[in-house]
Structure 1
Amino acid sequence: MTGRRRAAKKGAPPVIDPYLPATGNFGYRVSRYELDLEYKVAINRLHGSATITAVTLAELKTFTLDLSDALSVSKVTVNGKRPAQFKTSGGKLHISLADRLPAGAAMTIAVRYGGTPRPIRSLWGDVGFEELTEGVLVAGQPNGAASWFPCDDHPSAKASFRIEIATETPYFAIANGKLLSRRARAGMTTWTYEQVEPTSTYLITLQIGAYGRHRMSKNGVEIFSVLPDRLREDFDHDFGRQPQMMKLFVKLFGPYPLSTGYTVVVTDDDLEIPLEAQGISIFGANHCDGRRGSERLIAHEMAHQWFGNSVTVQRWRHIWLHEGFACYAEWLWSEHCGEESADELAAHYHQRLTNAPQNLVLADPGPRDMFDDRVYKRGALTLHVLRRQIGDDNFFALLKEWTARHRHGSVVTDDFTGLAAHYAEVSLRPLWTAWLYSPEVPPLDAWA
């Protein structure tokens, strides 16, 4: 499987990603998920079915899916047949087949399940399916998808999705992709979404609340807002420059990678940080303050649609390819608006980094530090010194080729450094050694 390798240590269990050794699965590749679910907000009860289309990568007798222990499975079929055995334990659905499947065989896995979903505890706090005061939020990064549906929960395992969710009629339900239908019956409304572009499981989301939906822009990329009515006035001010932001990012990064537009959800609750999903960004009511106090975060989350959501890391050690790029997009937006320039922001954050512990290697920060702010800021600084080294024309041509070449694909750091070499007149190896592979923060003026 592309980007996946077993642990080298003799006798160790197979591991797809050392940063999340218990997550991800071997033996097959998923191409599509179809979720048919019902959720009761008042009692936090989820039940329904997942139909998973996959192909075997090796001869298969047993295999696993990631699934939270908070959810129980009542029925499983594989290609229409009941397996010899299935059980849930340790965050996995274990399936044993009655007959072996050869490599290259089509596999349709149907799972009926339900329960009281809750977030998954991780090194980075609780992730996944979370109750709000009145509704639901799903924050899947990095391993929260299994909190609400059975899956192969790894960033390199991309698939298309169809999500049908029924919930109480007063609520608005949003998931990824195009809204195909909205049907009300007997106090429940069923919402059906189709996400055609290949998407990592952690980027699949479900947001339910007492929301209204509004179109912000219909020229170029469609932009929608989904939020409580009470926040509408502040939202129009705080998020009002998103169409201009989208126009800039399309100019600098290349075409917007999705066919279904971009949606911003603002929950009625406060959130510590906003989060990205495929085609969707989610903010808390606290990010809607009437003062444009969160505009850098708005730029950051929008940029993730290119860097992270379309072009996605194969393994989490390469996360600077998500966060460094999205952070640098904040600086580019500030520069475009005539506020602080990228040079000024680089100097400011370089000083902060030199005053911080210098024990982080950007290209492999370790699982505990992969969401450390130093990854974000040092990643942005790495891009800034690269821009200085190769010049604006080459730098932005590189970004456009990067997003086009790896559109809806999976990447590692070497993919970027290899591509960047074509845009440089001198070797970039000293730059990469200093900024990506050494813990010390290099001087900022060494590259001009």
Structure 2
Amino acid sequence: MVKPGKFAAGGAGKFYEEPVDAYLPHNGNRGYRVSRYELDLTYKVPSNRLAGKASITAVATESRPKFSFDLSPALAVAKVSVNGTRPKYTHQHGKLTITPAQKIPAGAALVVTVQYAGTPTPVHSIWGEVGWEELTEGALVASQPNGAASWYPCDDHPGAKASYQISITTDSPYYALANGVLLRKQTRASHTTWVYEQSEPMASYLATIQIGPYERHRVASSAAAVPMHALLPQRLRAPFEHDFGRQPEMMDAFVRMFGPYPFAAYTVLVTDDDLEIPIEAQGISVFGANHCDGRRGSERLVAHELAHQWFGNSLTLRNWRDIWLHEGFACYAEWLWSENSGGPSAQEIADQAHRNLALLPQDLLLGDPGPELMFDDRLYKRGALTLHALRRELGDEPFFELLRQWTARYRHSNVSTEEFTDLAAHFTERPLRPLWDAWLWSTPLP
């Protein structure tokens, strides 16, 4: 008999793990649950050389002879320890597989340290290159959905949230940013060490390092009193002040509609290079120099990335099939910001989006789009239209109360479509099943 959660292949008695997520079958691992990562990193900008020590605290969820972490083959492992002992290990095909001398019993503490080094490169995927990338001067990390292993050993799956402490030592002219609160900064000779603490649970793909010739500025306070900062090259300061100037009002609008901002602070970083698209990380959004055009040409993207702090970073999908809970919500936040800042109403934008989608192929199933389509622009727009349809069905007051309860109930947790639809049912006496069937579980555009 095949054990639950596994399937047999390749001969009798030979078992292989069932994927943690069918959309990324090679990512994520079983047998343990990480509670904390402590990363001590040294990065040399001119040579793109990364050396690291990862200390991973976990608990075994089952007794097994071996367990694995995701780690790029571009990084060579020099030393591994498990609970103070030296285990056997292999590092092949993006998996660091560790075999302790004795089985770790279920429920037991698991403290793993990994020393590694190499030239980090992005992970090649069907969505392009993700993870650690060199800039003209510095580096950035953009890991969605499976690039975290490009720079540290991890359980690379959004359902595996943990706290982090990230220490990064780099050449002193550069500013180094990571998630969370800066605990300390120490300069010795030509190197500076920056230590950040991210206490709220964070998915692996949302962990980030940003290194470059940046200056840090405080953004004008919002009524919601959320500390906001900007990191950017000096040459972009003037256009940034205009293009991102309405962030305090944006923050206030989203706090009113979505509930309290879920983290200690918010930082926007603008690289000296152009970027094709902005990138969200927990507590941080990253834009390219091209997003500072002096005309607020990217303001909808500013709203989109800020909204991800609620929808994606605090509330994180458990499985990638539910990606609309991130992108549909962030896209609808663009429309809500337009409506609340003197631009076209959400209804006007929805009407245009519906007309545009009607001209495109009708082969996207929003509730389970498949890996090839999970970042398709149609998913973003159809997700936003689904929320607008729900808003029209419920009315404004119940709709926004639903959003606030959604973000409060699942703050810093993992979520699913079923949990959202179940919660929405409490805000109307009419059945919502026809709405969900039409928008989430049918491919034709309603």
AA aligned to 2:238 is E
**Is 1:353 aligned to residue 360 of structure 2?**
no
Q: How does 1:17-416 map onto structure 2 within 5 Å?
A: 17-83=21-87, 85-219=88-222, 220-259=225-264, 261-416=265-420
Task: Name the Cα RMSD after superposition.
Answer: 1.1
Alignment check: 8 A CA contact 2:279 2:285 kept? yes
Would you say how many aligned residue pairs link Structure 1 and Structure 2?
A: 436
Q: CA deviation at 1:6?
A: 3.6
Q: Which residue of 2 aligns with 1:446?
A: none
2-structure distance, mates of 1:229, 1:79: 47
Q: CA deviation at 1:268?
A: 0.3
AA aligned to 1:428 is L
Q: CA deviation at 1:274?
A: 0.2
The TM-score normalised by the length of structure 1 is: 0.96
Displaced runs of 4 or more, over 6 A = 7-12
Alignment check: 8 A CA contact 1:16 1:25 kept? yes
% same residue: 62
Q: Which residue of 2 aligns with 1:445?
A: none
1-structure distance, mates of 2:290, 2:229: 19
Alpha-carbon distance change, 7 to 430 in structure 1, aligned in 2, over 3 angstroms = farther
Alignment check: 8 A CA contact 1:118 1:129 kept? yes
1-structure distance, mates of 2:428, 2:212: 49
AA aligned to 2:250 is M
2-structure distance, mates of 1:379, 1:121: 27
Alignment check: 8 A CA contact 1:175 1:205 kept? yes
AA aligned to 1:266 is V
- SS, match of residue 235 in structure 1: helix
AA aligned to 2:252 is K
- SS, match of residue 103 in structure 2: strand
- SS, match of residue 100 in structure 2: strand
Alpha-carbon distance change, 395 to 7 in structure 1, aligned in 2, over 3 angstroms = farther
2-structure distance, mates of 1:80, 1:369: 44
Alignment check: 8 A CA contact 1:6 1:16 kept? no
Deviations 1:365-421 (A, max 9, x none): 000000000110000000000000000000000000000000010111000000000
The TM-score normalised by the length of structure 2 is: 0.96
2-structure distance, mates of 1:237, 1:7: 55
Q: CA deviation at 1:88?
A: 0.6
AA aligned to 1:150 is P
2-structure distance, mates of 1:7, 1:382: 36
2-structure distance, mates of 1:38, 1:439: 48
Deviations 1:204-255 (A, max 9, x none): 0000000000000345001100000000000000000000000000000000
Alignment check: 8 A CA contact 2:221 2:248 kept? no
2-structure distance, mates of 1:41, 1:232: 24
The counterpart of 2:423, out of the listed 413, 419, 423, is 419
- Greater shift, 117-126 or 9-18, is seen at 9-18
AA aligned to 2:333 is A
2-structure distance, mates of 1:123, 1:315: 18
1-structure distance, mates of 2:67, 2:8: 22
Alignment check: 8 A CA contact 2:216 2:229 kept? yes
- SS, match of residue 110 in structure 1: strand
Q: CA deviation at 1:87?
A: 1.4
1-structure distance, mates of 2:231, 2:282: 15
Q: CA deviation at 1:424?
A: 1.2
AA aligned to 1:333 is W
Alignment check: 8 A CA contact 1:34 1:52 kept? yes
Alpha-carbon distance change, 191 to 292 in structure 1, aligned in 2, over 3 angstroms = same
- SS, match of residue 230 in structure 2: strand
List gaps (5 residues or longer) in structure 2. 10-14
Deviations 1:64-83 (A, max 9, x none): 00000000000000011101
Alpha-carbon distance change, 9 to 304 in structure 1, aligned in 2, over 3 angstroms = farther
List gaps (5 residues or longer) in structure 1. 443-448
Q: CA deviation at 1:48?
A: 2.0
